[in-house]
């Protein structure tokens, strides 16, 4: 298995969905509802590329053929993403025993209000996460980031946290297809899910 970079072609439409690994149980006696959450929440993406021609068309066809169905993986970003927070510095995991829905980091530019804002993405340890609350960096460049989904694998201390172009590792969730008009342009439909074991 190899992990490839997705071609630098912007989709016509781009859908991201967080698929939470939760289960709901309802009592047959009282109708009380209980919800439990488990590890394994992941991102699902759907990308459509309309009327690609020339080099872009051939690049996308070759890329999909190279993936060989679900044999290989690829890294891709949410193409609609722009960083809202101020950012700055080289953000790193501070402490190697972290889990749950917050990530403690250092290396940020000191004393930045709204260092990251709700809706920003971060990526580390081959995992893609969304920031769910505005956060500030302190005078020492430390920042605690509230994220979703929860951390799947404990990251090592000093792991780099990407926030400018964060990408996840994905696997095709079905056959990728394209249709061709007059042998000149092709439209592509790609659906994939985050690889929780990457």
Name the token pair of 172.
């095709």
SS3 readout for 108-158: ECCCCCCCECCCCEEEECCEEEEECCCECCCCCCCEEEEEEEEECCCCCCC
DSSP string of 13-69, one letter each residue? EEEEEEE--EEEEE-TTT--EEEEE-S--EEEEEEEEEEEEHHHHHHHHHHHHHHTT
Task: Calculate the alpha carbon distances from 69 to 22, 37, 43, 114 in Å.
Answer: 28, 30, 19, 41
Helix or strand (DSSP H, E) at 87: none
Tell me what pLDDT residue 36 has. Answer: 77
Tokens of residue 10, six digits: 């912007």
> Looking at residue 180, what is its pLDDT?
87
Tokens of 26: 């309802």
Q: How far is 96 from 154, CA to CA, in rounded Å? A: 7
User: Rounded to whole angstroms, how far apart are CA atoms 122 and 170?
Assistant: 15
- Main-chain phi, psi angles of 105, to 5 degrees: -130, 165
Select from 157, 27, 153 the least CA-distant residue to 92.
157
What pLDDT, on a 0 to 100 scale, did the predictor assign at position 37?
Answer: 74
- The H-or-E segment that residue 163 falls in is none
| Residue 109, pLDDT score | 96
**SS3 at position 107:** strand
Place of tokens 């980091």: 105
Ordered by start, the domain boundaries in the chain are 3-78+169-194, 89-151
Give the number of other Cβ atoms within 10 Å of residue 64's Cβ.
Answer: 19
In the prediction, which pLDDT does 77 show?
A: 95
Q: Which residues, given as ranges, of the chain have pLDDT below 70?
A: none
Q: Rounded to two decimals, what is the model's pTM?
A: 0.89
pLDDT of residue 39: 77
């Amino acid at each position: 298995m190899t992990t490839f970079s997705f071609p630098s072609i912007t989709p016509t439409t781009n859908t991201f969905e967080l698929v939470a690994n939760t289960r709901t149980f309802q009592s047959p006696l009282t109708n009380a509802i209980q919800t439990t959450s488990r590890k394994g929440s992941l991102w699902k993406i759907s990308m459509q590329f309309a009327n690609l021609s020339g080099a872009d068309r051939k690049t996308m066809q070759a890329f999909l053929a190279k993936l060989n169905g679900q044999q290989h993986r690829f890294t891709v970003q949410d193409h609609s993403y722009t960083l809202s927070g101020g950012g700055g510095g080289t953000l790193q995991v501070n402490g190697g025993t972290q889990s749950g829905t917050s990530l403690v980091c250092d290396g940020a530019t000191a004393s930045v209000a709204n260092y990251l804002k709700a809706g920003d993405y971060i990526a580390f340890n081959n995992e893609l996460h969304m920031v769910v609350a505005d956060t500030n960096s302190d005078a020492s460049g430390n920042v605690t980031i509230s994220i979703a989904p929860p951390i799947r694998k404990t990251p090592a201390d000093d792991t780099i946290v990407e926030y400018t172009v964060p990408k996840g590792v994905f696997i095709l969730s079905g056959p990728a297809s394209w249709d061709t008009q007059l042998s000149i342009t092709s439209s592509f439909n790609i659906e994939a899910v985050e690889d929780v074991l990457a």
